[in-house]
Amino acid sequence: MTKILEIKNLNKTFKKASESTKAVSDFSCTMDEGECIGIVGESGSGKSTVAGIIAGFVKADSGSIFYDGKELVFKGKAAQLQRKSMQMIFQNPTSALNPHMTIFENLKEAVVYYEKVDKKAFYDEAAAELQKMGLSSEYLDRYPKELSGGECQRATIARSLIGRPRLLICDEITSALDVCVQAEIIRYLLELKKSGISILFITHDITLTSQLCDRIIVMKEGKIVESGFTKEILENPVSDYTRLLVSAGY
């Protein structure tokens, strides 16, 4: 099995004046191509920092990441180019979309950074991508404020997929949505997984990992406290902290 990600000993401390926060301590993991890994943990446990380091907008203090066998750099244009086939989706869908652009323009913007786009052909491609998320082509001409929260998140996912990523990093993408829309998004992520996309699924709600994730990494105060197959962790959590997360979730 090809390893899409190999993360070794990541460390990150945020320093502000006299304060310093060790956000990530010695984080290591590997991910097979097509696998879905869940990172779970309470607020402030370092989940988004790990995601940010992988996606290239947070600079690690030390450690290394190999993506598809090549070592990634942490900053600058080179870092962005290396991560061309990675996409990250955030909790708040409205902040991911430019409010002054239509959904079509938002989708187009996601690819023009890397390639020239034929507007007419791209319109059809964008419509097809929205369709997969259950949104008709009529939405392409709308502005983000004219969509509901759930619709906005689906448009954001469509935007992330239009460049055909190999790795999707989802940071609390269902937290702002009601349970029905949440279930819909999880179903769609399952479809994506079947199509071979690798997914890093970050959530504070461990129960959300049950259908989607092959493995889970549990984080607390920047450290991995437990990791393993989803079913084993949910049914037989070893650490008290994981037990607490599981019992709080069910």
Ligand X SMILES: Nc1ncnc2c1ncn2[C@@H]1O[C@H](COP(=O)(O)OP(=O)(O)OP(=O)(O)O)[C@@H](O)[C@H]1O
Residues making contact with Mg ion (CB under 5 A):
48
Which residues have CB under 8 Å from 246's CB, separation 6+? 206, 207, 233, 234, 237
| By the rule CB under 6 A, 59 interacts with ligand X | no
Q: Which does 80 bind (CB under 5 to 8 A by kind): Mg ion, ligand X, none?
A: none
Q: For residues 23 and 245, which CB has a smaller minimum distance to ligand X in the complex?
A: 23
Residue 48 or 230: the one with the smaller Cβ distance to Mg ion is: 48
Does residue 18 interact with ligand X by CB under 6 A? Answer: no
> Which of 13, 62, 47, 9 shows the shortest CA–CA distance to 175?
47
Nearest residue to Mg ion, by Cβ distance, number only? 48
Q: Which of 4, 7, 46, 83 binds ligand X (CB under 6 A)?
A: 46
Phi, psi of 132 (to 5 degrees): -60, -30
Which CB, 147 or 218, lies closer to Mg ion?
218
Helix (H, G, I), strand (E, B) or coil at 42: coil
**HSE on the CB side for 49, CA within 13 Å?**
25
What are the start-end ranges of the E strands in 147-221? Answer: 167-171, 198-203, 215-220
Residues 216-245 that bind ligand X (CB under 6 A): none
| Closer to ligand X by Cβ: residue 106 or 182 | 182
Q: Is 143 exposed, middle or buried (0-12, 13-18, 19+ CB in 10 A)?
A: middle
- Rounded to whole angstroms, what are the CA distances from 209 to 9, 74, 202, 203? 24, 28, 9, 8
With DSSP H G I counted as helix, E B as strand and the rest as coil, what are the percentages for the chain, rounded to 5?
40, 30, 30
Task: Give whole-number Cα distances, 112 to 84, 106, 109, 118, 187, in Å.
Answer: 12, 10, 5, 10, 29
Instruction: Decide: is 48 part of the binding site for ligand X (CB under 6 A).
Output: yes
* Interface of this chain with ligand X, residues 150 to 209, rule: CB under 6 A: 204
We find the least distance from the C-beta atom of residue 92 to Mg ion, in angstroms, to be 11
Query: Least distance in Å: CB of 164 to ligand X?
Result: 27
Q: Which of 7, 27, 47, 212 is in the footprint of ligand X by CB under 6 A?
A: 47
Pick 7 or 127: Cβ nearer ligand X: 7
Interface pick for ligand X out of 45, 82, 156, 174 (rule CB under 6 A): 45
Q: How far is the CB of 23 from ligand X (least distance, A)?
A: 3
Quick check: 24 and 46 in contact, CB under 8 A? yes
Give which of Mg ion, ligand X, none residue 220 binds (C-beta under 5 to 8 Å, depending on kind): none
Residues that bind ligand X (CB under 6 A): 14, 16, 21, 23, 41, 43-49, 204
